[in-house]
């Protein structure tokens, strides 16, 4: 009887040992699979950041910076956030370079807590950056509602003189406490949690120098990268290589591709003169940068040039940063 009890006890202890060994083995296997997955997602160098561009005023002049904070809603440098200021009509509808091409020549900067507006043949206007006593205006950007803090009468009069035509305009500023637009309301490929202020659709647009060079090889007159208003410009890669980048690591910033950028009449506005041709480079792009037939419901007949990314991990971007593609 004692021998039988001893046998049962030994068997129970061995069963616990087998379970322990089995569990440890399973953990080792899981760890090995995780390591293999991470190895398969190793980063591959695909280029270098050659320019960082912030456009504080929608359709306004881009500002080239050496360093920028990359937030969920786009790039930021000092007090300036990308596309956080907007020109509107008196009834709140947005005004862009499509309607007023000379808007691309307007520079909006910030100096010691003051907002500075500059344009050709115009005297610089300086107004307080924060004007919390001013009213908040309901605005419309591509058919969606959003608010903006009115920047005051001086800015309105400056815009009226500059743009002319006897039309009244207002300058508004998107503030952090305001409700942003959802990118998915404009393009369904974006997730519901992606938000922007006044950009067309996405928080970050990326384009390579090589793609612009490829286009210039087909044009009678070269265009610059500023014509396409990107945020991040990449060098040291092949033309249109950015079309295949699904996930990028730049410094400690991680970006996720969502869709291509379908181009419109704004690309025919010369950023140096503010003159709209309504022809090039859009006509040439239409000849060789159309989407696949399966994507026609997304892009229609808009030629594709540049890529929209969302920010999966925020951080600092610098000119000269190596760009890594993440994935298998």
Preceding omega of 281 cis (within 30 degrees of 0): yes
Cβ pair 15, 8 in contact under 8 A: no
Whether the model pTM is above 0.75: yes
pLDDT of residue 120: 98
Q: Tell the CATH topology of 43-326.
A: M1 Pyruvate Kinase; Domain 3 (2.40.33)
pLDDT of residue 315: 98
**How far apart are the C-alpha atoms of 285 and 296, rounded to whole Å?**
16
Average pLDDT of adjacent 10-residue blocks, the chain of 328 residues? 46 45 49 49 94 98 98 98 98 97 98 96 97 97 97 98 95 97 97 97 98 98 98 98 98 98 98 98 98 97 98 98 92
End-to-end CA distance of the chain: 63
Percent of all residues in the chain with a pLDDT value above 70, rounded to a whole number? 87
pLDDT of residue 240: 98
CB atoms within 10 A of CB 318: 13
| pLDDT tens figures, 104-133 | 999 999 999 999 999 999 999 999 999 999
**How far apart are the C-alpha atoms of 128 and 257, rounded to whole Å?**
37
| pLDDT tens figures, 149-168 | 999 999 999 999 999 999 99
pLDDT of residue 275: 98
Domain locations in the chain as residue ranges: 43-326
pLDDT of residue 328: 65
- Element (H or E) spanning 67, and its range? strand 67-71
Closest CA to 281 of 236, 217, 235, 185: 217
CB atoms within 10 A of CB 238: 12
């Amino acid at each position: 009887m004692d021998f039988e009890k001893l046998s049962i006890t030994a068997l129970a202890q061995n069963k616990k040992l087998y379970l322990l060994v089995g569990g440890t083995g399973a953990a080792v296997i899981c760890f090995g699979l995780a390591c293999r997955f991470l190895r398969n997602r190793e980063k591959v160098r695909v280029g270098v950041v050659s320019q960082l561009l912030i456009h504080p005023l929608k359709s306004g002049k881009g500002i080239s910076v050496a360093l920028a904070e990359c937030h969920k809603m786009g790039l930021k440098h000092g007090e300036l956030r990308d596309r956080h200021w907007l020109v509107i009509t008196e009834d709140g509808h947005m005004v862009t370079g499509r309607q007023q091409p000379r808007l691309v020549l307007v520079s909006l900067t910030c100096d010691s807590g003051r907002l500075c507006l500059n344009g050709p043949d115009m005297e610089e206007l300086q107004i307080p950056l924060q004007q919390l006593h001013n009213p908040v205006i309901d605005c419309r950007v591509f058919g969606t509602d959003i608010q903006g803090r009115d920047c005051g009468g001086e800015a309105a009069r400056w815009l009226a003189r500059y743009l002319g035509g006897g039309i009244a305009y207002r300058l508004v500023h998107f503030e952090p406490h305001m409700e942003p637009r959802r990118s998915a309301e404009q393009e369904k490929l974006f997730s519901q949690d992606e938000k922007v202020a006044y950009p067309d659709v996405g928080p970050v647009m990326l384009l390579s120098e090589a793609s612009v060079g490829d286009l210039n090889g087909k044009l009678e007159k070269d265009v610059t990268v500023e014509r396409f208003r990107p945020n991040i410009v990449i060098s040291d890669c092949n033309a249109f290589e950015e079309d295949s980048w699904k996930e990028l690591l730049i410094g400690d910033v991680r970006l996720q591709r969502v869709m291509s950028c379908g181009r419109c009449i704004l690309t025919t506005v010369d950023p140096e003169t503010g003159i709209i041709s309504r022809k090039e480079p859009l006509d040439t792009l239409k000849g060789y940068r159309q989407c696949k037939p399966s994507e026609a419901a997304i892009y229609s007949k808009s030629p594709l040039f540049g890529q929209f990314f969302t920010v999966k991990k925020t951080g600092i971007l610098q000119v000269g940063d190596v760009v890594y593609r993440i994935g298998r």
